[in-house]
Every structure is written in structure tokens, then in C-alpha cells.
Chains A and B, each alone.
Chain A
Amino acid sequence: MEATRSNLAVVPAYNEAHTIVRVIDSLHEHAPDFDVLVVDDGSTDGTRELALHAGAHVVRHPFNLGIGGAVQSGFAYALDNGYGRMAQVDGDGQHLAEELQVLIDRMDADPGVDMVCGSRFLTDKGYPATISRRTGIHIFAFLLSRIVSQRVSDPTSGFRLYNRRAIALFAGDYPHDYPEVEAVLMVHHHRLRMLEVPVHMLERGGGKSSIRSGKSAYYMVKVLLALFVGLLRRRPVPRPGDDAPVAASHAL
């Protein structure tokens, strides 16, 4: 199947029935040259039907794979269908579709950039986040900035625009549980370029964040482990000719 347009907006959604229609309508209105794909990650609240009714394409997982798996399905869809650019927009309405143009303009201005991230911390726009969440984000931001030797102010932002190279990379390998932070590291390892642009983010319109409060400690530890191990990996993903990353038999 050939893409009707060359831009795809991917909206990962898990039980976002309250907001999904608003998000899709807003994308149709403010980003008319984007096809909209909702990746329904096993929702039980009718998110899929609402999304289809609102005029989006829908890929539905038979069970919940988590945010990493959902976004990676978006990358695979974009790669298979020949899209040149892919935007990632949360299904909870915290990203503004009208600001997608800011990301696009940045990528247009510099064709060597493979990933543009919307950051809520580049200018002080007063993002409403709890202190603990903010602290966690700033710790990741500090560590990542040192590792990739470039300022990364908002590594957990899920408001991103990718070009074809980044799509191909992440379609083949995208982190599992809490992917955004590790994705920045992967971009660095593969010598792709990323930039941040300032955007606004609203409070969540409904539903639950993929980072629940009780899990935030687990989140911190897991991502720190991933960052640490990622540093020790010489080749973070298999190259052509390597063993398959998941194989049926492995000697211990």
C-alpha cells in the first residue's frame, strides 16, 4: 500500500476514550497534511471504535504491549507504508496539534536533523508537574546531556517528529517499558541528530499516564539501569549479519 500522504501522525492510546476524539479532530484541523494512525494498545473502553469513527486509521494490539510496543507499531506502519516523516502525539491531549508545525519547521530548517523533540522546559512556560516527577525528569536530563554531550532538557517528552532514518532505526529496535529516555541514547549511538524545540504541554485531559505514581521509583531505577547498560553496549542494536536479538536457542 502506498501512503496517500508522506506524513504520519501516530497516537499511541491505551484507554483514552475521553480524549482520543479531541486529539484526532485537532490533528485533522491543525495538521491536515498528516495521516492519523491510532495505535490502540489493547484498550477496553472503546478507544478503537471512537478513533475509527473520528476518521483515523487504527492498528489494534490484541493485548497491552506497553507504550514502547505501541509506538514501535507506529514506526513499523510508517516504514511499511513509505511515510517520509512520522510525528508522535500522546493520546491524552497534553500535546497541542497546532504546535506540530513548530517541530516541522525546525526539521525543514535543518535537513540533517533526524528527530525533533518538543520540550516543555526550554522556556519557562510553567508546566504543571509534581515536584517528584519534575525532579526525575531533570535527573535524566542531566545524565543524558552529559552522555550525548548536547543539552537535552526534556528527555521524557513524547511529542516528537522523526524522519525516515529515525523511523527505520526505531521500527527495527525501540526500547520496551519507558522508551523515550532510551530512545535519545539510541539516536546518539547511531550517530543520528536530535534537536529540541520549546512547546507547551497541557495537563492530561483524562485517562492515566503510563507512568503511575506508585511505579515512578521503578521507572527511575529501570531507566537508570538502561542508561548505564546502554553505555556499556558497544553496538546497541544488531547490524546486518549479527545473530538475531531474539533467538529460539541460547546457550547460557
Chain B
Amino acid sequence: MDTKIQILAIVASGGMLLVILEMVRQRRLLERYALLWLFSALVLLALAVWRDFLETIANTIGIIYPPNALFVIAFGFVLVLLLHFSIAVSRLADQSKVLAQRVALLEERQNRAEAERSEAEAEEVLER
């Protein structure tokens, strides 16, 4: 594998690792969602550093140019991450729907309670 492209791969995956850790540190990324990112970055970094293993993988699956194997693996991680986030977004959508419904029901109940109270007060005034 070309040394230039190896250096590029190491810098890119190492940078990704640092950015993710920094986001978690700043609390902009929850650990829950950071784990998969960290795992991807670590694997890519390891493969970029450990050329022999990458070449073994490339030979095994019939890729002539080893850096392409790195791209294939990175693409696999991207797909998994996208699916992961689609699932997370679906869950959030579901939860915000339930929240909106609960708030709407509470608001209705509150309005009704207030209306009943002012009615009762009006009756009291009339009775006097």
C-alpha cells in the first residue's frame, strides 16, 4: 500500500476519533450514540496502521488494491451508523408524538378544571 494514502488514512481516522471524544467531552454527543462512532474510528485506525492485516483482508475478499478494502469497510460502518440513527430517529419521533399527546390531554384537563372552577365561583356570586 502506498505510504501517502496510509498516512492520509491514519490522519483521517485519528482525527475522527479525536473529534468524537471532544464532542462527548463537551456533552454535545451522548455516550450512547458515541460508542458506535468510536468503534468505527478505532477499527479504521487499526487497519490503517496495521497494513499487513488490511492486505490479508483485501486478498481474502479478492480486492487487488488494499486501500480499497479500507473504503469498503468504512462504507460498511457508514451504512450501520445510518441504520442506527434511523432507528434512533424513529424512536424519538414516536416519543415526541406520545409527549405531544400527553401535553394536549393535560391542557384539556386543565382548561376543563379551570372552567368548572370559574363556573362554580359564578354560581356562588349569584347565590349571594
Measured CA separation A62–B99 after assembly (Å) = 7
Do B35 and A221 touch across chains, with their CB atoms under 8 A apart? yes
Within 8 A of B (CB), among A210-237: 218, 221-222, 225-226, 229, 232-233
- CB-defined contacts of A218 to chain B, threshold 8 Å: 35
The CA of A233 and the CA of B23, in the complex, are separated in Å by 11
B27 to A225, Cβ gap below 8 A? no
Asked if A128 is an interface residue, CB under 8 A from chain B, the answer is no
Instruction: Name the distance in Å between A27's Cβ and chain B's nearest Cβ.
Output: 28
> Chain A residues near B35 (CB, 8 Å)?
218, 221-222, 225
Count of A-B contacts judged by CB separation below 8 Å: 32
Main secondary structure of the interface of B (DSSP, over half): helix
A181 to chain B, nearest CB (A): 12
Does the CB pair B38–A63 fall under 8 Å? no
B102 touches A226 (CB 8 A): no
Contact of A177 among B21, B32, B38, B99 (CB under 8 A): B32
> Would you call B4 an interface residue if the criterion is a C-beta within 8 Å of the partner chain's C-beta atoms?
no
Q: How many A residues, CB 8 Å from partner?
A: 14
The answer for the CA separation of A233 and B27 in the assembled complex, in Å, is 9
Q: Count chain B CB atoms within 10 A of each CB in A62, A177, A218, A226 and give the residue with the most.
A: A62
Q: Please report A residues at the B interface, Cβ cutoff 8 Å.
A: 62-63, 176-177, 218, 221-222, 225-226, 229, 232-233, 245, 250
A-B contact pairs, 29 of them (CB 8 A): A62-B98, A62-B99, A63-B94, A63-B95, A176-B30, A176-B31, A176-B32, A177-B31, A177-B32, A218-B35, A221-B35, A222-B31, A222-B32, A222-B35, A225-B24, A225-B31, A225-B34, A225-B35, A225-B38, A226-B31, A229-B21, A229-B24, A229-B25, A232-B21, A232-B25, A233-B25, A233-B27, A245-B27, A250-B28
In order of increasing CB-CB distance, the 7 nearest A-B pairs are: A62-B102, A62-B98, A229-B24, A232-B25, A226-B31, A229-B25, A225-B31
User: Which residues of B are at the interface with A, using a C-beta cutoff of 8 A?
Assistant: 21, 24-25, 27-28, 30-32, 34-35, 38, 94-95, 98-99, 102
